[in-house]
Amino acid sequence: MNCELNLRTRSAAETMKAAAEFSRTLRGGEVLALYGDLGAGKTVFAKGIARGLGIADEVTSPTFIVMNEYGGGRLRLCHYDMYRADGENARNLGLHENFGRPDTVCVVEWPDNVGALLPKTAIKIRLSGDGRARTIARE
């Protein structure tokens, strides 16, 4: 599977478009670990992944509910925001049960907070920038 990613975007729309194009390489079972500071574009990237998968629902940040699940596309999307959680919380909630499912792509914001639950095969993507210009790179 070709999952290369190394680019610069100059708007949220460009970031979404890049993520949508990247999503075409996804076959199911992938866990995308999105690293970056607040405002770096992690949720915008997740919205683009959903768009590229053909999901029509509006994707919102699951900051306070930890996970949003979206269907209706080529693959199911589980979008996690672990900003306020830790590995113990994630384990107790069973969030890792979706990791690796062949019909699902998981996007994890703040993956450092998931700890050992994050699979070693996770695709690590770093976003940096200020909301206007972003660098998006696979690590």
pLDDT of residue 1: 39
For residue 1, tell me if it sits in a domain.
no
- DSSP element (H, E) containing 53: helix 42-53
Q: How would you classify residue 105: left for phi > 0, otherwise alpha for psi between -120 and 50, otherwise beta?
A: beta
Per-residue confidence (pLDDT) for residue 2, from 0 to 100: 44
Burial of 16 (0-12, 13-18, 19+ CB in 10 A): buried
| Segment 42-70, tens digit of pLDDT | 999 999 999 999 999 999 887 777 889 99
Domain assignment present for 134: yes
Q: Is 22 exposed, middle or buried (0-12, 13-18, 19+ CB in 10 A)?
A: buried
What is the distance, to the nearest Å, from the Cα of residue 17 to the centroid of all Cα atoms in its chain? 14
Note whether residue 45 is domain-resident. Answer: yes
Query: pTM value?
Result: 0.91
Closest CA to 50 of 15, 99, 82, 90: 15
Q: Which domain holds residue 37?
A: 6-138
- Burial string for 62-85 (b: 16+ CB within 10 Å, else e) reads beeebbbebeebbbbbbbbbbeeb
CB-based contact 90:115 (threshold 8 Å): yes
Q: Number of structural domains, the chain?
A: 1
What's the mean pLDDT when you consider all of the chain?
A: 89
What's the pLDDT score for residue 66? 82
Q: What is the CATH number of the domain that holds 93?
A: 3.40.50.300
74 confidence band (pLDDT: 50, 70, 90): very high
User: Quick check: is 21 in a domain?
Assistant: yes
Banded model confidence at residue 4, pLDDT cuts 50, 70, 90: low
CA distance 56 to 50: 8
pLDDT value for 106: 96
- Mean pLDDT (whole number) for 38-42: 89
Residue 60 lies in a domain: yes
Q: Higher-confidence residue: 130 or 19?
A: 19
pLDDT of residue 49: 98
